């Protein structure tokens, strides 16, 4: 792709780019395999006689190795390229899954989870970075939105379906699908680029890259911390109304998915990257503070309001996801941007579960989510200054 195309905001639809479409298809299969096992692996551990601590440790080890792999990806991609690393990531996610059926104690499950976490860290960084590697700047918003749909739909469908399948049909079908779907993505990946485009400035020092993206990184962190808390504790907050709790989780996922896609569609029409970041974070803040206030009132009407606030938060977080990533692409190389964004997402999820759990243990869920809302509120001034102009070819070359 000629470098001059980076400055055209009216670029063609990303769906006309065959390699980008292949990346979307591969990502859908990979995230389907991931989604099928998120809740089923802890359930498998418990069903084999281990306790809740071991079940939580399986998820904790997975996320820890995910973040570790993400932190190493800038150098690995520079050396081996996107195609090779994406294939390795897919193999790491899918190949170890059949070993779970042989693991009747929790210790082997932790090892398998750790290996799969490395694979997930690889494919999340490669997937996000390939948006900017394959598309011109004028298509990045739409590309990010479409990527959000490709990875969000499997979560929306398979996350709730996986436990139902395990309960009614057994664990074997879930493990089989969790193996097959990531492996089916491997042949699609052969069309991905072997390496990076050197003009994107991949040799930029890590410290300089971090200094360039911290403003969009903080809003992303604030949203992902809340996401981790929501996913972990919404069923407990809605314990007296479990159907409403399930509906809230579905609403959060659906509004985040739709908002990210719409933000990408609208964002490419704007002349400024990060233009919607402040509005997105404001919705995150309003949703969290509203949820904190309403969830502390033990009435059905208040809990319905709380569910509505979860939907508001989800929409805001969808916008933050899209705009923060596009803004990072405008400032640093695709690999650096993808690493920073994915670390904020995955580390933030883990931190959110820990923070809310610790605060709620001594106070209440209402207070704990209020703390997250105040943190998002404190980050609003940062997001207000995070906006950047559409990158020019020359600006993308600067270290």
Residue 23 sits in the same domain as residue 130: yes
Question: CA 349 from chain center: how many Å?
Answer: 9
The angle formed by the CA atoms of residues 288, 289 and 291, to the nearest 5 degrees, is: 65
Residue 370 sits in the same domain as residue 284: yes
- Using pLDDT thresholds of 50, 70 and 90, give the confidence band for residue 394: very low
With 0-12 CB in 10 A as exposed, 13-18 as middle and 19+ as buried, what is 270?
Answer: middle
Last residue of a domain, one of 162, 196, 230: 196
pLDDT at 397: 35
Between 231 and 112, name the one with better pLDDT.
112
Q: With beta carbons less than 8 A apart as the criterion, state whether 214 and 331 touch.
A: no
Last residue of a domain, one of 165, 196, 227: 196
Please state, in angstroms and rounded to a whole number, the distance separating the CA atoms of residues 108 and 129: 32
Residue 206 sits in the same domain as residue 186: no
- Using pLDDT thresholds of 50, 70 and 90, give the confidence band for residue 198: low
Residue 181 sits in the same domain as residue 279: no
Task: Average the pLDDT over each of 22-26, 178-182, 230-234, 377-381 and give the range with the smallest value.
Answer: 230-234
Residue 73 sits in the same domain as residue 137: yes
How many structural domains comprise the chain?
A: 2
Please state, in angstroms and rounded to a whole number, the distance separating the CA atoms of residues 341 and 352: 16
In Å, what is the CA distance from 325 to each residue of 10, 274, 398?
19, 9, 19
Strand, helix or coil for residue 51: coil
Residue 190 sits in the same domain as residue 212: no
Please state, in angstroms and rounded to a whole number, the distance separating the CA atoms of residues 187 and 26: 9
pLDDT in tens, 153-177: 998 888 888 888 888 899 999 999 9
Last residue of a domain, one of 171, 196, 221: 196
Residue 169 sits in the same domain as residue 211: no
Residue 168 sits in the same domain as residue 250: no
Whose tokens are 């499997």? That residue is 154
The mean pLDDT value of the chain amounts to 86
In Å, what is the CA distance from 369 to each residue of 105, 224, 351?
35, 13, 13
With 0-12 CB in 10 A as exposed, 13-18 as middle and 19+ as buried, what is 78?
Answer: middle
For residue 149, give the nearest of 250, 253, 66 by alpha carbon.
253
399 pLDDT higher than 90:
no
What's 160's domain CATH number? 1.20.1250.20
The model's pTM is 0.84
pLDDT in tens, 279-293: 999 999 999 999 999
Give the best-scoring range by mean pLDDT among 60-69, 290-299, 366-375.
366-375
Q: With beta carbons less than 8 A apart as the criterion, state whether 347 and 287 touch.
A: no
Q: With beta carbons less than 8 A apart as the criterion, state whether 297 and 288 touch.
A: no
Between 222 and 59, name the one with better pLDDT.
222
pLDDT at 341: 94
CB-side neighbour CA atoms (13 Å) of 93:
36
Residue 229 sits in the same domain as residue 159: no
Residue 96 sits in the same domain as residue 132: yes
Residue 46 sits in the same domain as residue 152: yes
Residue 21 sits in the same domain as residue 127: yes
Task: Tell me which H or E stretch contains 390.
Answer: none
Rg of the chain over all Cα atoms, to the nearest angstrom: 20
| Structural domain boundaries enclosing 365 | 201-399
pLDDT at 207: 61
Q: For the chain, what percent of residues have pLDDT higher than 90?
A: 52
Mark out the alpha helices in the chain (DSSP H runs): 18-38, 40-47, 52-80, 82-94, 106-134, 140-169, 171-188, 206-237, 242-267, 277-295, 300-331, 334-362, 365-384, 393-397
């Amino acid at each position: 792709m000629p470098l001059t195309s980076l400055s055209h905001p009216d670029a063609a639809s990303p769906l006309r780019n065959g390699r980008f479409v292949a990346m979307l298809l591969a990502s859908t299969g990979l995230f389907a395999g991931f989604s099928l096992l998120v809740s089923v692996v802890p359930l498998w551990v418990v069903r084999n006689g281990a306790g809740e601590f071991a079940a939580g440790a399986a998820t904790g080890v997975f996320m820890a190795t995910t973040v570790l792999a993400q932190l190493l990806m800038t150098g690995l991609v520079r050396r081996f390229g996107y195609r090779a690393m994406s294939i390795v990531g897919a193999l790491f996610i899918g190949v170890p899954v059949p070993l779970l059926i042989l693991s009747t104690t929790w210790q082997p499950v932790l090892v398998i989870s750790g290996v799969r976490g490395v694979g997930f860290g690889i494919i999340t960084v490669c997937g996000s970075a390939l948006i900017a590697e394959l598309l011109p700047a004028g298509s990045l918003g739409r590309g990010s939105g479409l990527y959000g749909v490709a990875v969000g739909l499997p979560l929306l469908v398979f996350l709730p379906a996986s436990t139902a399948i395990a309960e009614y049909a057994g664990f074997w079908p879930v493990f089989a699908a969790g193996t097959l779907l990531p492996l089916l993505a491997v042949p699609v990946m052969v069309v991905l680029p072997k390496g990076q485009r050197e003009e994107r400035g991949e040799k930029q020092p890590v410290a300089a890259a971090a200094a360039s993206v911290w403003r969009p990184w903080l809003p992303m962190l604030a949203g992902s911390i809340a996401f981790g808390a929501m996913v972990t504790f919404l069923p407990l907050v809605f314990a007296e109304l479990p159907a409403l709790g399930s509906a809230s989780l579905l609403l959060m996922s659906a509004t985040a998915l739709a908002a990210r896609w719409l933000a990408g569609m609208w964002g490419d029409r704007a002349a400024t990257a990060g233009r919607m970041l402040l509005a997105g974070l404001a919705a995150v803040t309003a949703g969290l503070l509203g949820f904190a206030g309403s969830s502390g009132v033990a009435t059905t009407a208040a809990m319905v309001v709380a569910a509505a606030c979860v939907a508001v938060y989800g929409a805001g977080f969808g916008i933050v996801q899209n705009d923060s990533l596009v803004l990072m692409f405008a400032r640093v190389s695709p690999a650096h941007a993808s690493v920073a964004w994915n670390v904020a997402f995955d580390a933030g999820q883990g931190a959110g579960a820990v923070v809310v759990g610790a605060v709620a243990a001594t106070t209440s869920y209402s207070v704990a989510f209020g703390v997250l809302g105040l943190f998002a509120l404190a980050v609003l001034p940062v997001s207000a200054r995070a906006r950047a102009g559409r990158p020019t070819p020359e600006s993308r070359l600067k270290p």
